Structure 1
Amino acid sequence: MHPAFSPSNVAVITGGASGIGLAAAKRFAAMGLKVAIADLGGDKLDGAKAAVAKQTDPENVIAVATDVTNVDHLQHLQQTIEQEFGDVDILMNNAGIQPGSSIFNPDGWTRIIDVNLFGIIRGSQVFGPKMILRQKPGLIINTGSKQGITTPPGDPAYNVSKAGVKTFTEALQHELRNTKNCHVTAHLFIPGFVYTPLTAGDRTEKPAGAWTPEETVDFMLDHVSAGDFYILCPDNDVARDLDERRILWAAKDIIQNRPPLSRWHPDYQSEFADFLKRRDEGQE
């Protein structure tokens, strides 16, 4: 296990009141860490604090109402954690929204990008410098999405925000590894199909193809501890090798000068099917 996960170390999780964030908060608390849950204020945040407190000494859990689009809120979060627990060892920038979007309708675009992308940038900029100065092992885990890599049609604002998270986190890790005496690493967490309030829609039961948030967090812990930067999670529908083929196809749109999103282009559907078939047959 990565040394940042040592008991009594401090973890902060944005978007920690539900879904993957709440599962991570519970898991960290059960491991003996001190946990700060950051999310919008209200009953959901209060309930999350109570649920996480069942995993540990309640004094090791705090909940701080935080809007990640507001840098003052993030600075207040940092100050509160330092007062209650001390310095931060693990920052999990996880807050995200997905209300849906379309190209020519501006509704929602600003909020989606402000939460999903700038929330992660701000969180890293507020917490990162002090984490580096400590010269101790630390982690910044940013929650991205496969939609930020293969960018499927249907929700362009979300895709843009998560593509930005990928690019930012790559740059962040480059910066960290080239900073003298820095023992903090960044990791891009890329969940698969996970049954959470964000993805549930009208469903009241977990689809067979989805992972639980708990399964996803356990996968993340294993792969962070293994030193992986790209934590590409499978699920019950999509294995890693299928994800790899989809990502490779998307990259070849540029290399082969195909139309963008050719995977969904009628002129390339049979070629894409053949590309996947070669994977099933173990061919390149």
Structure 2
Amino acid sequence: MPIFKSGNTAVITGGASGIGLALATKCAGYGMNVVICDNNSSNLKAAVELVEGKGGKGKIEGVEMDVSEGLEFEKVKKVVANSGGKIHLLALNAGAAIPSPNPSNPWTSPNVFQKTLAINTLGVTNGLCALLPFILPHSTTSHPTSIIITGSKQGITNPPGNPAYNASKAAVKSLAESLSHDLSSRSPTTAVHFLVPGWTFTGLSGNPPFATEGQEGQPKPKPKGAWWPEQVVEYLEAHMAEGRFYVICPDNDVSERMDGRRMLWDRLDLVEGRPPLTRWREDYAGEVAEWMGRSAS
């Protein structure tokens, strides 16, 4: 991959834990300069030290910021401008799943919707509006650039339970698709990749970064079905090399074919005029089981 090259610069939001940290570590291993952006100061400090300790030749910098605030990206712009003014890899990865105070009736909690959309969706648009000028002008066939936008399977199949998170990630999918189409003609040497992790063992799933035994919030054992963040990044890199836009990651429980069947069933609700979310409706349980059973064939 010409993107993962010594001397190139990567900017990664949500880079102090989970998939973002795994990607930062990979970039550093190639000798890239890495700007790690995160809103957690202690995690950020530890992440910079960890990535620096990998022995890469590039410069590792941390920027404490809140992606939901557009002006916060001025901090990133300043760092990039002071170190050459070019971004070769932008990963808009920051995200949050904010629990509702009333899970059985989420429609009573407007603040949850506002905060979730501000972080997960506006965190992407804020980053694009602020940082595209550092990516597109210098992108050429011999020196291409890439943008990674992290989505979620919940933003595709929309399972019941967290409408704020689902809606925020559905919007991210739409934004990533629109960006890819736009840049295919405006900046064809800038690749856009929509990363959709499977079940991944991160802070959101019980693996808080940099926690040690005896501390509150110490890591739990990794579930057998989950992938490590490093596995997701390896899968991502391989699919970036193939020029893929959609990078839909499996995990140890869900295969690529199972994901495909689930996504296709969801779309058939629309095409065939069925009620929404029939995959989770009791009166469709038999049809869904039969449909998914075909995934083994």
Amino acid at match of 2:52: A
State the alpha-carbon separation in 2 of the partners of residues 19 and 134 from structure 1.
Answer: 30
Contact between 2:28 and 2:57, CA under 8 Å: does it hold in 1? Answer: no
Amino acid at match of 1:277: G
State the alpha-carbon separation in 1 of the partners of residues 239 and 58 from structure 2.
Answer: 29
2:128 to 117, 124, 127: 124
State the alpha-carbon separation in 2 of the partners of residues 234 and 243 from structure 1.
Answer: 7
Secondary structure of 1:107's aligned partner: helix
Q: Decide whether aligned partners of structure 1 residues 87 and 252 sit closer, same or farther in structure 2, where only a CA change above 3 A counts.
A: same
Aligned to 2:189: 183
Using the TM superposition, give the Cα deviation of residue 6 of structure 1 relative to its aligned residue in structure 2, in angstroms: 1.3
Cα offsets for 1:244-265 (capped at 9, x unmatched): 0000000000011111110001
Using the TM superposition, give the Cα deviation of residue 59 of structure 1 relative to its aligned residue in structure 2, in angstroms: 6.0
5+ residue gaps, structure 1, are none
RMSD (Å), alpha carbons: 1.5
State the alpha-carbon separation in 2 of the partners of residues 83 and 129 from structure 1.
Answer: 15
Aligned to 2:221: 205
State the alpha-carbon separation in 2 of the partners of residues 185 and 89 from structure 1.
Answer: 10
Aligned to 2:284: 268
Contact between 1:16 and 1:37, CA under 8 Å: does it hold in 2? Answer: yes
Q: Decide whether aligned partners of structure 1 residues 46 and 40 sit closer, same or farther in structure 2, where only a CA change above 3 A counts.
A: same
Cα offsets for 1:124-171 (capped at 9, x unmatched): 111113311113310110000000000101111010000000000000
State the alpha-carbon separation in 2 of the partners of residues 219 and 57 from structure 1.
Answer: 22
Poorly superposed stretches of 4+, deviation over 6 Å: none
State the alpha-carbon separation in 1 of the partners of residues 197 and 4 from structure 2.
Answer: 20
1:252 to 265, 268, 273: 268
Secondary structure of 2:121's aligned partner: helix
How many positions carry a matched residue from both structures?
A: 279
Secondary structure of 2:148's aligned partner: strand
Secondary structure of 1:36's aligned partner: strand
State the alpha-carbon separation in 2 of the partners of residues 211 and 103 from structure 1.
Answer: 32
Q: TM-score, with normalisation over the residues of structure 1?
A: 0.94
Equivalent positions of 1:39-54 (< 5 A) are 39-54=38-53
1:160 to 153, 167, 173: 167
Aligned to 1:144: 151
Aligned to 1:226: 242
Q: TM-score, with normalisation over the residues of structure 2?
A: 0.90
State the alpha-carbon separation in 1 of the partners of residues 68 and 226 from structure 2.
Answer: 29
Contact between 2:193 and 2:245, CA under 8 Å: does it hold in 1? Answer: yes
Using the TM superposition, give the Cα deviation of residue 58 of structure 1 relative to its aligned residue in structure 2, in angstroms: 7.4
State the alpha-carbon separation in 2 of the partners of residues 112 and 35 from structure 1.
Answer: 27
Cα offsets for 1:224-267 (capped at 9, x unmatched): 11100000000000000000000000000001111111000111
